[in-house]
């Protein structure tokens, strides 16, 4: 498969299917939960949309990431949590309804924040980066088409045919998992010769980003006296990013395969740490 077909067709299509699957599990009631859990939703969104990019920016400096890898880590930090975070929250005995609510809201807001964070990073970390910036309006439209619109279609199906949606949800999740695996494999193979070097350079920063955001998300929530279930969910929503979207932004919108590496590495790392989070959640959180 040629890289142009992968980046222009397969990646957006795969991400659309993944987001459609997320939409099948969302209803309008999830958006109303902001009024039921205002403190939890606010803390979760602040962690996701403000604290996470700031931590990533600090880690770029601490680990000395350069040019494309630095931008790639910032792209990842700009992305919201994905459908994976909802599943992990459920398996870890977190507040699944809160997880879905946070994912839905952060996905909507990220449509606006992604191009600004990415453009700031390009100018900051790449010499002459002004010429490589994303078109803000075009990026908003692109992210809408490959994330928000499929979610909205999934929500519409769920509202009109809930039984059909429930039946399809499992199938779409399996297909989404396959797509996610293929996307990560494709990103790794594209830069296979440079992968050892990239992993040495970006791997520690990606791991640190994952562990720091998981930890801070939990303890900030506990500091504000949220329940263990809600705190666990905010931890997961803070530390589990939509790596597929990160890869798509880098490969499709920026046409830069090196920038996909932090998202690909992070996606591999987060599944290992997620397994630990699930284990801890099942040991400590009571039903």
Output the pTM of the full model. 0.82
129, part of any domain: yes
287, part of any domain: no
At residue 112's C-alpha, the angle toward residues 146 and 45, to 5°, is: 100
Whether the pLDDT of residue 10 is over 70: the answer is: no
Q: What is the C-alpha separation between 178 and 166, in angstroms, rounded?
A: 19
Q: How many folded domains does the chain comprise?
A: 1
What's the token pair of residue 126? 């790449």
Tens of pLDDT, residue by residue over 148-201, are 888 888 888 888 888 887 777 677 777 777 776 776 677 667 667 766 777 788
Q: Are 234 and 92 in contact (CB under 8 A)?
A: no
249, part of any domain: yes
Question: Which of these, 65, 103, 53, lies nearest to 209 by C-alpha position?
Answer: 53
What's the token pair of residue 92? 């870890």
Question: Which of these, 88, 82, 135, 87, lies nearest to 106 by C-alpha position?
Answer: 82
120, part of any domain: yes
CATH number at residue 162: 1.20.1530.20
What's the token pair of residue 86? 């909802």
Question: Where would I find the H helices in the chain?
Answer: 3-5, 11-23, 28-36, 38-46, 52-63, 67-78, 83-91, 96-125, 136-143, 149-160, 162-190, 195-223, 228-239, 243-248, 261-284
Quote the pLDDT of residue 213.
94
Quote the pLDDT of residue 264.
84
Average pLDDT over residues 133-145: 79
Quote the pLDDT of residue 191.
62
140, part of any domain: yes
- Parent domain of 51: 3-282
Q: Are 92 and 28 in contact (CB under 8 A)?
A: no
123, part of any domain: yes
Q: What is the C-alpha separation between 239 and 263, in angstroms, rounded?
A: 13
Q: How many CA atoms lie within 13 A of 188 on its CB side?
A: 15
Q: What is the C-alpha separation between 22 and 227, in angstroms, rounded?
A: 25
Using DSSP's 3-state secondary structure scheme, residue 93 falls into coil
Q: 250-262 b/e with 16+ CB inside 10 Å = b? A: bbbbbebbbbbbb
37, part of any domain: yes
Name which of 80-89, 91-100, 112-121 the model is least confident about.
80-89
pLDDT over 70 percentage in the chain: 87
């Amino acid at each position: 498969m040629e890289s142009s077909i992968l980046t222009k067709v397969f990646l957006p299509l795969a991400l659309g299917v993944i987001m459609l699957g997320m939409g099948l599990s969302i209803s309008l009631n999830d958006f109303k939960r902001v009024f039921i859990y205002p403190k939890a939703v606010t803390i979760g969104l602040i962690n996701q949309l403000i604290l996470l990019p700031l931590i990533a920016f600090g880690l770029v400096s601490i680990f000395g990431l350069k040019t494309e890898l630095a931008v790639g880590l910032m792209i990842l930090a700009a992305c919201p949590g994905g459908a994976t975070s909802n599943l992990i929250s459920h398996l870890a005995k977190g507040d699944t309804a809160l997880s879905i609510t946070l994912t839905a809201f952060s996905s909507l807001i990220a449509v606006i924040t992604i191009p600004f964070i990415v453009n700031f990073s390009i100018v900051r970390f790449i010499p002459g980066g002004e010429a490589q910036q994303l078109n803000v309006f075009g990026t908003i439209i692109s992210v809408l088409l490959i994330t928000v619109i499929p979610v909205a279609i999934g929500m519409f199906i769920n509202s009109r045919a809930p039984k059909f949606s429930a039946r399809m949800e499992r199938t779409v999740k399996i297909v989404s998992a396959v797509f996610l695996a293929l996307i990560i494999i494709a990103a790794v193979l594209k830069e296979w010769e440079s992968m050892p070097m990239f992993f040495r350079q970006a791997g520690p920063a990606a791991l640190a980003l994952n562990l720091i955001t998981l930890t801070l998300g939990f303890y900030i929530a506990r500091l504000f006296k949220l329940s263990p279930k809600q705190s666990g969910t905010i931890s997961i929503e803070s530390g589990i990013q939509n790596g597929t979207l990160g890869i798509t932004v880098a490969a499709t919108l920026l046409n830069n395969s090196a920038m996909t590496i932090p998202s690909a590495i992070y996606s591999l790392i987060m599944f290992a740490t997620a397994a630990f989070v699930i284990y801890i959640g099942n040991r400590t959180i009571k039903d």
